[in-house]
Amino acid sequence: MSTSKVTLLPGGHQFTVQGEETVLEAALRAGVSVSYGCSNGNCGDCRARVLSGEVRKVRPHDYVFSETQKQQGYALMCSVTADSDLSLEMLVAAGPAQIPWQQITASVRGLERPNPKLLILRVQTPRTRRLRFLAGQSVQLSLDGGALTASLALANCPCDDRNLVFHVQSDESDPFARYCFEQMRSGEPVEVQGPFGDFALADETPRPLLFLAWGNGFAPIRSLVEHVLAQESAEVLDLLWLSDPATGHYQDNLCRSWQDAMDNLHYRALVLPEGYDAPGVGTELAQALKNVNGIQERHAFVAGPREFVARARDVLMTLGVDPHNCRIQPIPPQQDG
């Protein structure tokens, strides 16, 4: 299989194109948040200027370039592959503010119950309306014309922008969660709006990372870890997942597979009895974090119930983590404003 290296300017991001995959597919697989829309050759949002190297068209497109764009060497990245190493003029999103708000009618494609308290909801967008987002962000889902709504963190890597995954916690007081557990069926429509939230990795030099999750706060943490793995960067990464016995570590095997595959990834699961209060969680967390090397240098990401993330942030500050290097994501997530 042929492999070509692509360099994006002015940012300097690099990735490889393998075989006949499009440049856009290769960029997303590598965790590079380039600009795109339909990914189907219609909107033109993924156009880029070829500064050096050769591209080859592998998919048809309806977007029409102006004569000026043709003369300047523009091509649609969703429709071409690399026939040599490439240098492209193409911007990369450096943060959430550069990701547009989107509204997409998708459909339920899977309902999995790893245990009675947790539902893994899989939603698929149309081929021509994929969701562009950053790892760790959230969306609002609406059912029945908006009668039922919920803000949920995305649990998948942005490289799979069509197959969206959510971890729904059982909650009798929440009409949306109750509907998901009792009535939702495969194929029914779901309105997706977003993304929102700044619980995302900044576009900067690789650094040591620390991920903390409680219960289904693992959802955005999973999105972030998969993004880091897609980038194939050399960060040291520690993942600590706390949970009560009812919710459990419902994707424990996945975390262990990450640890087996990556020498610099360290995973620990910690089960706490039901009814643990915030101070008790803080004590257990502080004890567990004593085994993390160089914790003062870490960029920390914490996701879970509001009381947990607040307590975890206090513990991290006590251990010397820079407050500017700590991001928290309460579950359920809330939109600003």
pLDDT bin (cut points 50, 70, 90) of residue 1 is: confident
Of 128, 127, 120, 105, residue with least CA distance to 153: 120
What's residue 2's pLDDT? Answer: 85
Asked whether the predicted pLDDT for residue 337 surpasses 60, the reply is: no
Instruction: Say what the alpha-carbon torsion angle 309, 310, 311, 317 is, to the nearest 10 degrees.
Output: 100
- State the Cα angle at 138 between 134 and 142, rounded to 5°: 135
In the chain, pLDDT over 70 holds for what percent of residues? 96
pLDDT of residue 234: 60
DSSP 59-107: S-------HHHHHHTEEETTTEEESS-EEEE--B--SGGGSPPEEEEEE
DSSP labels, 139-184:
EEEEEGGGTEEEEEE--S-TTS-SEEEEEEEP-TT-HHHHHHHHT-
Report the CATH superfamily, name and number, of domain 3-89: Beta-grasp domain (3.10.20.30)
**Rounded mean pLDDT of 110-139?**
95
Q: What is the C-alpha separation between 34 and 48, in angstroms, rounded? A: 10
As a residue count, the chain comes to 337
The SS3 of residue 272 is coil
pLDDT at position 218 is 98
pLDDT of residue 31: 84
Q: What pLDDT band is residue 174 in, cutting at 50, 70 and 90?
A: very high
* Beta strands at 80-82 and 47-52: parallel, antiparallel or unpaired: unpaired
Structure tokens at 113: 């119950």
* CA 72/CA 32 separation, integer angstroms: 24
How far apart are alpha carbons 270 and 248 in whole angstroms?
9
Mean pLDDT of the region 286-301: 92
What average pLDDT does the segment 108-125 reach? Answer: 97
Query: What is the DSSP code string of 224-236?
Result: HHHHHHHHT----
Residue 233: predicted pLDDT: 67
Distance of CA 276 to the CA centre of its chain: 29
Instruction: Identify which has the larger pLDDT, 50 or 94.
Output: 50
CATH 3.40.50.80 domain residues, the chain? 209-330
Which is higher by pLDDT, 276 or 7?
A: 7
Q: What is the pLDDT of residue 291?
A: 84
pLDDT at 290 over 90: no
pLDDT of residue 198 exceeding 60: yes
Question: Which distant-in-sequence residues (6+ apart) come within 8 Å of 337 by Cβ?
Answer: none
Mean pLDDT of 166-188: 97
Backbone angles phi, psi at 30, to 5 degrees: -85, 0
Spatial CA neighbour of 140 closest among 270, 334, 278: 334
Please list the alpha-helical segments (H only) found in 80-140. Answer: none
pLDDT > 90: what percent of the chain?
74
Q: Say whether pLDDT at 131 is over 90.
A: yes
Beta carbons of 323 and 234 less than 8 angstroms apart: no
Which class is domain 209-330? alpha beta
- Asked if residue 272 has pLDDT above 90, the reply is no
Apex 216 CA angle, 179 and 200, nearest 5: 115
Q: Is 205's pLDDT higher than 60? A: no
Architecture of domain 97-196 in this structure: Beta Barrel (2.40)
Higher local confidence (pLDDT), 35 or 231: 35
Sheet with strand 118-124: strands edge to edge = 148-153, 138-143, 189-196, 102-115, 118-124, 163-169
Q: Which two tokens stand for residue 168?
A: 């729904």
Cα(336)–Cα(199) distance, integer angstroms: 13
- Which of 149-153, 198-202, 255-259, 272-276 has the least mean pLDDT? 272-276
Cβ neighbours of residue 101 under 8 Å, at least 6 residues apart? 193, 194, 195, 196
What count of other Cβ atoms lies within 10 Å of the Cβ of residue 315?
20
Whether 262 and 209 have beta carbons less than 8 Å apart is answered as: no
**Model confidence band, residue 95 (pLDDT cutoffs 50, 70, 90):** confident
Full-prediction pTM beyond 0.85?
yes
Region 59-80: mean pLDDT is 92
pLDDT band at 141 (very low <50, low <70, confident <90, very high): very high
CB count within 10 Å of CB 26 equals 23
* Cα angle value 72/74/76 (rounded, 5°): 175
Task: Give start-end residues of each CATH 2.40.30.10 domain in the chain.
Answer: 97-196
CA geometry: angle 299, 302, 307, nearest 5 deg: 140
- The rounded mean pLDDT for the chain is 92
